[in-house]
């Protein structure tokens, strides 16, 4: 169910468990990618909500949240801190995709004591954006959506997922999407991630063309003790393309963290 919070005087939407939070359970805090919303994680929260507290956010300016997005990863990270402060949850694992992965990594470096671990999905230390995408968003947004959808999915998944993905992007706030891509384009986490001292799983689709697997290997090489997980038959939208394998990896990672606590 969608629940609303007030952060910086803005109405913020999150998908949360319909029966409320279990204080003893682990909490999965999902952060979507550029131009997305909480529904990016529908294959996760529909299947994992019985065993975990679920919080799938709509970032400012996305989905049902007010605002126009941020053009800086650090600002998004600070916003996440404010939301987690409001939620007062323990045992939180942040799961972030693409832009969300960058936010998760930044948060772990800056506010790591607030959480138990992170899963960075389809991310990179740097995520430069093709200048043509910025131009197309200004002049021909539908063409930009088509290109982004095409390169977000492995070839074998395009027939099944391209249209739903394109439709979800078509209702996105263009200003927020543009700001998201600016944030990705200018970020450099090369030094920041080196101070992360948390259980970290770096995940990627084996056929990801937007943030190829090597980018995930580079992240993992910079974070002591981190794990990598490459999901077969999946591209950039790995959590939608192969949700069974993705969810299993996420559950196993959460179990590892719970065992360390015990």
Q: How many domains does the chain have?
A: 1
The model's pTM: 0.97
Residue 37 belongs to domain spanning = 2-261
- CATH number of 12's domain: 3.40.50.1820
Lowest mean pLDDT among 124-138, 157-171, 214-228, 244-258: 157-171
Question: In 10 A of CB 42, how many CB atoms?
Answer: 14
pLDDT for residue 262 is more than 60: no
Tell the burial category of 258 from Cβ atoms under 10 Å away from its Cβ (0-12, 13-18, 19+).
middle
pLDDT (0 to 100) of residue 237: 98
Distance CA 124, CA 108 (A): 15
List, for residues 118-173, the tens digit of each pLDDT value: 999 999 999 999 999 999 999 999 899 889 998 999 999 999 999 889 888 878 89
């Amino acid at each position: 169910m969608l629940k609303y919070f007030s952060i910086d005087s803005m109405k913020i939407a999150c998908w949360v468990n319909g029966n409320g939070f279990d204080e003893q359970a682990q909490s999965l805090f999902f952060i979507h990618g550029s131009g997305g919303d909480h529904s990016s994680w529908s294959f996760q929260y529909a299947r994992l909500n019985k065993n975990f507290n679920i919080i799938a956010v709509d970032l400012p300016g996305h989905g049902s949240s007010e605002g126009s997005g941020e053009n800086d990863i650090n600002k998004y990270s600070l916003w996440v801190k404010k939301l987690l402060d409001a939620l007062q949850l323990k045992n939180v694992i942040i799961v972030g995709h693409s832009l969300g992965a960058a936010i998760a990594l930044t948060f772990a470096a800056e506010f790591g004591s607030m959480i138990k671990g992170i899963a960075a999905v389809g991310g990179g230390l740097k995520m430069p954006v093709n200048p043509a995408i910025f131009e197309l968003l200004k002049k021909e947004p539908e063409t930009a959506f088509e290109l982004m959808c095409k390169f977000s999915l492995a070839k074998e998944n395009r027939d099944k997922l391209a249209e739903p993905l394109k439709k979800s992007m078509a209702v996105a706030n263009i200003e927020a999407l543009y700001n998201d891509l600016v944030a990705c384009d200018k970020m450099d986490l090369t030094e920041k991630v080196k101070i992360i001292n948390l259980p970290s799983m770096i995940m990627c689709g084996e056929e990801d063309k937007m943030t190829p697997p090597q980018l995930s290997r580079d992240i993992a090489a910079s974070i002591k003790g981190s794990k990598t997980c490459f999901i077969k038959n999946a591209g950039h939208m790995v959590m939608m393309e192969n949700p069974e394998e993705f969810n299993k990896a996420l559950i196993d990672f959460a179990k590892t963290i719970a065992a360390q606590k015990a």
